[in-house]
Chain A
Amino acid sequence: MVQYSAARLDVSFTALSDATRRGVLEQLGRADASITDLADRFDMTLTGMKKHVSVLERAGLVTTEKIGRVRTCRLNAGGLEDEAAWIERYRRRWDLRFEALDEIVEDLKQKEDLDGRK
């Protein structure tokens, strides 16, 4: 499996042990959001949300960037695994698709054979 350093794991664990923070990760999985957006969505004060985001940021799960007056948060999924593991996941996704494509290619070939024999 993937290697985690103990300290890193500890920080990730703390970060994920909170329902709001998990909700924030899920939300950022759908789209980047500003701290204000997140505070609204989770019905929290700006200060409260800033704290949650900074815990996620320390754990390497989220990155933030300040553009003008807005701090945008985005998921840093790479914080959890190394690139090789992600590439393997990406590969598996294509592999699933291609297995389904194999079936269609098979169907079409059979259909061509039938049509050819008419």
Chain B
Amino acid sequence: MDENSSELAPRKNRTVVERKSDLELVVTRVFDGPPRIVFEAWAKPELFQRWWVPKSLGVPLRSCEMDVRTGGGYRLEFGLDAANSMAFYGKYIEVTPPSRIVWTNEESGDAGAVTTVTFADQGGRTLLTLSELYPTKEACDEAIQGSAAGLPEQFEQLDALLIDLGDNA
């Protein structure tokens, strides 16, 4: 990596995404608090749902069950009503407070990723690294391209494109 931006930079910490390989996406971000606090915000359902589904995504969370311990399960359901909802679920393979959580994503069957999030102490701050490891390149491609949350945006973009084209016709 090149320059590690200076302390003088604005307060906002940068989110960096890297495609490490055909199979793996890695997200990193620093938080201004110690790992035990960032871990707590991931491991307590009432805290987790406050940030995992920011309002700007425009998709309400209908239900959220999380049993954050090794071998425990989770199930998140998004949508406006029962008929138009989507569930995400899986198991926690490893939960090691306050440094590491690993879980499966089973809603996509065999194409599901294994997600590993680690919290590393950096003198009172936390370096969070989240890795999504997919079983195949195709699954990884699809995850980047086809995520449900990205779709509304995508359609907005298409709308804008169509309007532009209409104006120029």
Contact = CB atoms under 8 A, between A and B. Distances in A.
Contacts of A101: 31, 38, 41, 51
B148 A29 contact: yes
Interface residues of B, number: 42
**Would you call the interface of chain A mostly helix, strand, loop, or mixed?**
helix
Contacts of A95: 15
Contacts of A96: 54, 56-57
Interface string A27-70: 00110000000000000000000000000000000000000000
Nearest to A31: B86
A16 B151 CA distance: 15
Contacts of B40: 108
A100 interface: yes
Interface string B123-151: 00000001000000000010011111111
Closest 8 CB pairs of A and B: A100-B51, A105-B33, A91-B17, A95-B15, A78-B145, A101-B51, A77-B145, A29-B151
